[in-house]
Amino acid sequence: MRNLLVCFACWGLVAVLAVGCVHAQKPVRFDGPAFLALEVLERELSALGQETADMDEPSGVLKTRWVDINYLYGYVNGQDATLFRRYVAVVHRRPADTQLTLRAEVRACPVGTKVGEGKRLPAGCKVLGGIIADHQEALETLGSQLREALSRLRPSPEVTGEHRIVIVVFELRTPEGMLRTTDVEQLTEYLSAKLTETGRFNVTPQARLKAAIAEKQRESFSQAVESESQIELGRALAAQKMLRVQLIQAGSACKLVGTVYDLTKVASEGAVTVDTACGLDALPAGLDGLSRALVDKLR
């Protein structure tokens, strides 16, 4: 009974139905790389399941979408209330690095509240003055995951003076009949774009690769382009490395396996494996993970 009275004090006149009271939030702070830009932060948060709603690059502020976390919490305007949450990341730039502050914003809104594009909540929603213990833990977990993800990043070649690796990406191999040809082509283009975004690679355009494959097929009178021929094609296109990616299905789950070849040595340089769902909608997220894993592999 005493805890319930304390909870009433935490929330004023609003009756609290959830277990536990709000307490002062402890934002997560850690040092980041000097080259950290909001576009990079947006990409890494998206990979962690947090979609961006607003970015203000001059101020270094990024806000994620408001999300109904389906946590019943008292009443608002006489109606049952649920909690909406978003995260706010602030990048403080310093001469040698950056400091990143991550905090949560929480509102109580009537059950059934809709949020257009996740950017704004209705005026009738109430600000939660603190944070629930479970949500503080979620904030700290997200901060830890983000810090780990950012620690794996490398600055772009423009920052370090390094040269990008020229890589040729062959079309994604999938189980027969699993995806349409157009889907495979789009996913291959998507992977090429994500590799370029990392700042580590210059990817040979697919149009150039397809033209080289067509010429090779005319020369050999064969529609097949075997592994040895792929290496020859990569070298002919002045690439330093070659990437072959295969989608493997095992029951209801799938794996993406990427094998990198060093074309200067004509030898396999290593492979990375990423777990993914098999659906077409899920494969881009799997390819995102594969591109990040390749950056780690080729450090």
Predicted confidence at residue 263, as pLDDT, reads: 85
Given this model, what pLDDT does residue 74 score?
87
157-297: what CATH class? alpha beta
Q: DSSP per residue over 204-248, as a string?
A: PPHHHHHHHHHHHHHHHT-S---HHHHHHHHHHTT-SEEEEEEEE
Residue 63's pLDDT is 95
Mean pLDDT per 10-residue section of the chain, whose length is 299 residues: 39 41 89 80 90 90 93 88 94 81 94 83 87 92 91 59 77 91 94 84 85 72 58 79 92 92 80 92 91 77
Are 107 and 139 in contact, with CB atoms under 8 Å apart?
no
What residues does CATH 3.30.530.50 cover in the chain?
A: 2-151
State the CATH class of domain 2-151: alpha beta
pTM for this prediction: 0.53
Q: What is the pLDDT of residue 6?
A: 38
With left for phi above 0 and alpha for psi between -120 and 50, is residue 186 left, alpha or beta?
Answer: alpha
Give me the pLDDT at residue 15, please.
Answer: 39
pLDDT score, position 146:
92
Which ranges in the chain are annotated with CATH 3.40.50.10070?
A: 157-297
